[in-house]
Amino acid sequence: MNAAGGLDLASIPARIETEVQRAIQRSIKGVEYIASSGPSLGSTPKDILSVRGTMNLYHYRPIADEVYRVPILIVMATTNRGYILDLVPGQSFVEFLLKRGYDVYMLDWTAPKPEEKRLAMEDYVLDFLPHCIREVQRDCGETDVSVVGYCFGGVLSLLYGSIFSDGPMKNLVLFTTPIDFRKMKLFQNFSDRRYFDVDRLVDSVGNVPPEMILSSFEMLRPASRAASQVQLWENIWNDEFVKSYRMFDRWATDTLPLAGEYFRTITKDLMWDNKLYNDTMSVGGRPADISKIKVPILHAVAEHDHIVPYDAAKPLIQKIGSSDKEEVMLKGGHVSLVAGANAIKRLWPKLDSWLCERSI
Amino acid sequence: MADNSSDPVAIWQNMIGEMEKGFNSFATQAMASPEFSKVANQVGGVSAGAQKQLGDLMEKYLVGMNLPSRAQMVGMAERLQSIETQLNEIKVLLHELQGDSGAQESSAGAAPRPPRTKRPPSAGGDQR
């Protein structure tokens, strides 16, 4: 029987019972939530191939009977930890790649120490990345390497690829990688050169503190943290929701500091002068022109990315020199593009179907 | 799709979602103004500088109290990390040695690397 407003009166007792049960579960699970630690993340078996301060190179142990000839080197963004791509079994991008027969390496970052404040863009692009490529080549015995860069890891991969355009990069896959920094409107405003004194900041603090990086991300959607906590409370009876919430929340708040000199270059060359887009970027005196990149490239962008808006990522495919190039826009946001249920059904299979033919 | 227009829980959830969107949109517009940038950077610059000065002062105070300073703790953490790194290197070397000597006793040695012969499904490979 329906009341005038469309309310099904017969369903009310059942609904009340469900809500009472959930309220009880919320109280019990709420205590459990506070008392317990989250799921163990980044646990796919791996070996450390090289550690140099903030730089860590891992090799994940293959699980397929045979692997594709060309290995993959994942380049993580310098602001966050790589375990977003290796959450838990069944929700791990790395595990997915291993099962599909790829040989997977990851360039991941730890917090730069105070004495690493002088690490500059040159160190990342002309030293760390080439060093990791050489280590991958030495470890697997292959010359060709496919590079997969996420967010600012994509920018580093682009810079590397444009400077070392003669190889050995075989394929380039980028996830949500900005190139036109003028279109990152809020970041532009936060770092407005009229008011933001990057020299003063770097000279006074050394490495840029993680709290500052985290707040600049959170300020892009200031109400979302509070809203997500309300959602958590509503769904705390649901173990799967809570597990997922804890994984993503832990990762999102586990922000890394940025080396001071490196941050100075990002602000001045990319945010202020937009040099990558204007084809005037150079690293350590070596021109980094992305039109020099000729290898096959796939760029995956997210429809609702609030960190790297589509306008900031769009010109990449137009400007790159490759003839074999593809941009794919998928549903999701900056993080849900690469991890979680959305990524499992959209990005991961797309990447596999694109890369497998180019990995032999 | 079920009609949730009269479900109080759905109404509440919808309201939270709309409030989040509305506030985010409002804040985004407000933060896009040059005035916001000016004020935020003034406050942020002062706060970062003050935090640094406070940190330096605190370090001196801890040294005076004969307590380990942050720099000393960081130094210890670095030494630990360096020991861990060396342990990992030793572990890798041991794996390699075990791999060399255990070629004939493969079950005990490091797992052999799979052959790099996989083909894509369309080229006759399987998809596991």
Inside any domain, residue B59: no
Asked if residue B106 has pLDDT above 50, the reply is no
How many other β-carbons are positioned within 10 Å of the β-carbon of residue A86? 27
Inside any domain, residue B108: no
- So what's the pLDDT on residue B128? 47
Mean pLDDT of A6-32: 71
Inside any domain, residue B53: no
d(CA A176, CA A351): 14
Report strand pairing: A169-175 vs A145-150.
Answer: parallel
Pairs of CB atoms within 8 A across A/B: 132
**Domain residue limits at B73:** 68-103
- So what's the pLDDT on residue B108? 43
Residue B46 — pLDDT band, cuts 50, 70, 90? low
Type of residue at B52: K
Shortest CB distance from B116 goes to which of A67, A223, A356? A67
Inside any domain, residue B17: no
d(CA A199, CA A194): 13
Q: What DSSP string describes A147-205?
A: EEEETHHHHHHHHHHHHSTTSSEEEEEEES----GGG-HHHHHHT-TTT--HHHHHHHH
Mean pLDDT of B64-82: 74
- So what's the pLDDT on residue A77? 94
pTM (predicted TM-score): 0.77
Inside any domain, residue B61: no
Q: Where are the domains of chain A?
A: 46-218+255-356
Give the gap in angstroms from C-alpha A287 to the nearest C-alpha of chain B: 32
Residues of B in contact with A231 (CB under 8 A): 16
Q: Among all residues of chain A, which has the CA nearest to that of B10? A: A234
Inside any domain, residue B81: yes
Question: Per the CB < 8 Å rule, is B95 touching A360?
Answer: no
Enumerate the β-bridge partners of residue A74.
Answer: A106, A148
Inside any domain, residue B94: yes
Mean pLDDT of A164-177: 94
Mean pLDDT of B79-107: 69
- Number of domains observed in the structure of chain B: 1
Looking at domain A46-218+255-356, which of 3.40.120.10, 3.40.50.300, 1.10.10.10, 3.40.50.1820 is its CATH number? 3.40.50.1820
Per residue in A88-130, pLDDT (tens digit) is 888 899 999 999 999 999 999 988 988 899 999 999 999 999 9
Percent of chain A surpassing pLDDT 90: 56
Give the gap in angstroms from C-alpha B33 to the nearest C-alpha of chain A: 7
Question: Per the CB < 8 Å rule, is B33 touching A189?
Answer: yes
Name the nearest CA neighbour of A249 among A183, A354, A127, A335. A335
Inside any domain, residue B75: yes
d(CA A128, CA A295): 21
